[in-house]
Amino acid sequence: MTGNGAANAIEALKAVRDGLDVIGDLSRYAEAGWPAIPKDDVERLKWWGIFLRRQSEGQPGFFMVRVRIPNGIASAAQVRELAAISQELGRGVLDVTTRQQLQLRWIRIEDVPELLARLQRVGLTTLQTGMDNVRNVVGCPLAGVVRTELFDASEVVRALTRRVVGNRAVTNLPRKFNVTITGCVENCTHAETQDLALVPAVREVEGRHEVGFNVLVGGKMGSGGYRPAVPLDAFVTPEEAPEVCLAVVAVFRDYGPRQSRSKARLSFLLDSWGVVRLRAAVEEQLGRSLPRAGRDARQPGSSDHLGVVPQKQAGRYAVGLWVPVGRLHAHQLMEVARLSEGYGEGEVRFTTGQNLILPHVPEDRLHALLQEPLLRDLPPDPPPAWRGLVTCTGTDYCNLALIDTKRRALALARALEGRVTRPLAVHWSGCPAGCGNHGVADVGLVGKKVRRGAEVAEAVDVYVAGRAGPNPVVGVKLLEDVPCDALLPVLEALLRWGNFDELRARLRPASPQPDVPASEGSTIPLADLPEGGARVVRVAGQAVAVFRHNGTVYAVQDTCPHGGASLAGGSVDDGHVVCPAHGYRFCLSTGRCQTDSSLALRTYRVSLEGGRVTVQPPEEV
436 is catalytic: yes
Q: Is 263 a catalytic residue?
A: no
Residues 28-78 have pLDDT tens digits of 999 999 999 999 999 999 999 999 986 655 688 999 999 999 999 999 999
pLDDT at 519: 56
Model pLDDT, residue 426: 97
Q: Are the folds of 154-296 and 386-507 the same?
A: yes
Q: Residue 340 phi/psi, 5° resolution?
A: -65, -30
Extract the runs of DSSP E, i.e. beta strands, from 128-284: 179-181, 196-205, 208-217, 230-236
What is the spatial distance between Cα 142 and Cα 198, in angstroms, rounded to a whole number?
Answer: 16
Active site residue 346: no
The pLDDT of residue 55: 62
Catalytic residue among 184, 435, 579, 587: 435
CATH superfamily of 154-296: Sulfite Reductase Hemoprotein, domain 1 (3.30.413.10)
Give the count of beta carbons closer than 10 Å to the beta carbon of residue 2: 9
Per-residue pLDDT band for 434 (boundaries 50, 70, 90) equals very high
Spatial separation of the C-alpha atoms in residues 453 and 444, rounded to whole Å: 27
pLDDT digits (tens, 9 = 90+) for 75-119: 999 999 999 999 999 999 999 999 999 999 999 999 999 999 999
Query: Considering only CA atoms, which of 333, 343, 269 is closest in space to residue 92?
Result: 333
Mean pLDDT for the stretch of residues 213-227: 93
pTM of the predicted protein model: 0.83
Condensed to tens digits (0 to 9), the pLDDT of residues 121-139 reads 999 999 999 999 999 999 9
Residues 6+ apart with CB under 8 A from 566: 509, 513, 516, 536, 543, 545, 558, 559, 560, 580
Reported as a pLDDT band with limits 50, 70 and 90, residue 520 is: low
**Residue 534: its pLDDT value, please?**
86
176 is known as an active-site residue: yes
Our CA angle for 606, 612, 615, nearest 5°, is 25
* Catalytic pick among 430, 434, 466, 570: 430
Q: Which is catalytic among the residues 44, 176, 292, 349?
A: 176
Choice among 219, 394, 434, 436 that is catalytic: 436
DSSP 263-314: G-SHHHHHHHH-HHHHHHHHHHHHTS--PPP-EE-PPSS-----EEEEBSST
**Residue type, position 214, single letter:** N
Confidence of residue 351 (pLDDT cuts 50, 70, 90): very high
How confident is the model at residue 511, as a pLDDT? 44
**Residue ranges per structural domain of the chain:** 1-131+321-350+360-374, 154-296, 386-507, 518-620
Residue 544: its H or E element:
strand 542-549
Of 238, 247, 187, nearest to 217 by C-alpha is 247
Does the active-site annotation cover 452?
Answer: no
Active-site annotation holder among 44, 46, 66, 504? 66
CATH number assigned to the domain with residue range 1-131+321-350+360-374, chosen from the 4 options 3.30.70.2200, 3.90.480.20, 3.30.450.20, 3.40.630.10: 3.90.480.20
**Alpha-carbon separation of residue 273 from 78, 143, 153, 269 (angstroms):** 43, 35, 30, 6
Average pLDDT taken over every residue of the chain: 92
- Please give the CATH architecture assigned to the domain spanning 386-507: 2-Layer Sandwich (3.30)
Residue tagged active-site, from 44, 99, 175, 585: 175
Name the pLDDT band for 529 (thresholds 50, 70, 90). Answer: confident
- Is 535 annotated in the active site? no
Whole-number pLDDT of residue 513: 47
- Its CATH architecture, for the domain 518-620, is 3-layer Sandwich (2.102)
